[in-house]
């Protein structure tokens, strides 16, 4: 891993084909500018590395990320934030654009920017004591790292507006009920469960997984006809891959679900 000024705020660990982007800025993983840029860097590394086939975003056993670094933001004026706002969004979007399955393993607080970072994953696993929310309105602000856009796309506009307008936190059961998280497990099992989910997909057909992710994500941003065209092009293109040959041959010879992909 390339050493730089941000090496202590987050790092990438790889095992079983799974790359874990681990936030490491105690005590609350506040997402200052340096950490935002480190996340962008690690997302790019996870995208490029062939030994990373799926990704877990994790904040540690006690907290995912409690939000932005308010002390850093407090001294920024309008001109400074105009210059920074795009970089903030781009850092998080780099995670959303990783062309591999991504799961957020959420323990403790995932608030503000922490919640927005979790929204960039394909799925979210939460511990029983997890708390999620967008409290920016309590600071006289709105979410600025994608919350006003990704949250309503995930849980619907009414539920998203409730969270954004009130700034309230939701506990894990409510987050599960509204679709903000996809699985709730005991706190001690969050990372294990997330890593197991990612490891299972890491053993799958990489190009087909990328095709599935990009088809869904791109299709959600356009009309149905265009979305069907995106799906059609990816579907036909996969017939040129070795994984497609392997999967179909295994199905015919051994039955479903037994293929071993390279």
The one catalytic residue in 17, 108, 113, 114 is: 113
For residue 215 the two structure tokens come to: 């088809």
* pTM beyond 0.75: yes
19: β partners = 14, 55
Q: Would you call 113 a catalytic residue per the annotation?
A: yes
Provide the mean pLDDT of the chain: 95
Say if residues 261 and 204 touch (Cβ distance below 8 Å). Answer: yes
pLDDT score at 72: 93
Above 60 in pLDDT, residue 3? no
Q: Exposure of 107 by Cβ count < 10 A (0-12 exposed, 13-18 middle, 19+ buried)?
A: buried
For residue 83 the two structure tokens come to: 């210059």
123: β partners = 103
Q: Would you call 116 a catalytic residue per the annotation?
A: yes
pLDDT score at 91: 96
Question: Beta-strand (E) ranges in the chain?
Answer: 10-15, 18-23, 54-58, 102-106, 109-111, 123-127, 131-133, 169-171, 183-185
Please report where in the chains the tokens 């009414």 appear, as a residue: 158
pLDDT score at 21: 98
pLDDT score at 221: 94
pLDDT score at 258: 84
Reference 143, options 126, 118, 123; nearest CA is 118
For 140-191, write each residue's pLDDT tens digit.
999 999 999 999 999 999 999 999 999 999 999 999 999 999 999 999 999 9
Q: What is the CATH number of domain 206-254?
A: 1.10.12.10
Q: pLDDT grade, residue 139 (50/70/90)?
A: very high
Neighbours of 117 (CB within 10 A): 29
Q: What are the extents of the domains in the chain?
A: 10-202, 206-254
pLDDT score at 5: 42
Size (the chain), residues: 262
For 195-249, write each residue's pLDDT tens digit.
999 999 999 999 999 999 999 999 999 999 999 999 999 999 999 999 999 999 9
Round to whole Å and give the CA distance between 19 and 198.
9
Say if residues 222 and 208 touch (Cβ distance below 8 Å). Answer: no
Q: Would you call 242 a catalytic residue per the annotation?
A: no
Say if residues 21 and 43 touch (Cβ distance below 8 Å). Answer: yes
Average pLDDT value for residue range 77-81: 96
Round to whole Å and give the CA distance between 236 and 226.
16
Q: Would you call 46 a catalytic residue per the annotation?
A: no
pLDDT score at 8: 75
The one catalytic residue in 127, 130, 136, 259 is: 136
The one catalytic residue in 60, 116, 206, 212 is: 116
Pairing of strands 54-58, 102-106: parallel
Fold classification of 10-202 (topology level): 2-enoyl-CoA Hydratase; Chain A, domain 1 (3.90.226)
Two domains, one topology: 10-202 and 206-254: no
Contacts of 113 (CB under 8 A, 6+ apart): 31, 36, 65, 67, 68, 92, 145
The one catalytic residue in 46, 68, 206, 211 is: 68
Q: pLDDT grade, residue 60 (50/70/90)?
A: very high
CA 235 to chain centre: 25
């Amino acid at each position: 891993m390339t050493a730089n000024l941000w090496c202590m705020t987050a790092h990438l660990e790889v095992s079983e084909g799974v790359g874990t982007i681990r936030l490491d800025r105690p005590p609350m993983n506040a997402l200052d500018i340096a950490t935002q840029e480190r996340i962008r860097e690690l997302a790019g590394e996870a995208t490029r590395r062939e030994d990373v086939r799926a990704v877990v975003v994790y904040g540690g056993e006690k907290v995912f990320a409690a939000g932005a670094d308010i002390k850093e933001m407090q001294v920024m004026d309008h001109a400074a934030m105009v210059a920074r706002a795009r970089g903030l969004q781009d850092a998080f979007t780099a995670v959303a654009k990783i062309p591999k399955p991504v799961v957020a393993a959420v323990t403790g607080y995932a608030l503000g920017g922490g919640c927005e970072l979790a929204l960039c994953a394909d799925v979210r696993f939460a511990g029983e004591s997890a708390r999620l929310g967008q409290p920016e309105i309590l600071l006289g602000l709105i979410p600025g790292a994608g919350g006003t856009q990704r949250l309503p796309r995930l849980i619907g506009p009414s539920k998203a507006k409730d969270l954004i307008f009130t700034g309230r936190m939701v506990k894990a059961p409510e987050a599960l009920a509204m679709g903000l998280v996809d699985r709730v497990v005991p706190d001690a099992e969050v990372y294990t469960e997330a890593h197991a989910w990612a490891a299972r997909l890491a053993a799958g057909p990489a190009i087909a997984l990328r095709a599935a992710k990009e088809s869904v994500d791109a299709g959600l941003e356009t009309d149905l006809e265009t979305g069907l065209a995106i799906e059609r092009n990816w579907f036909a293109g996969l017939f040129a891959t070795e994984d497609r040959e392997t999967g179909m041959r295994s199905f015919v010879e051994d039955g479903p679900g037994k293929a071993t992909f390279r």
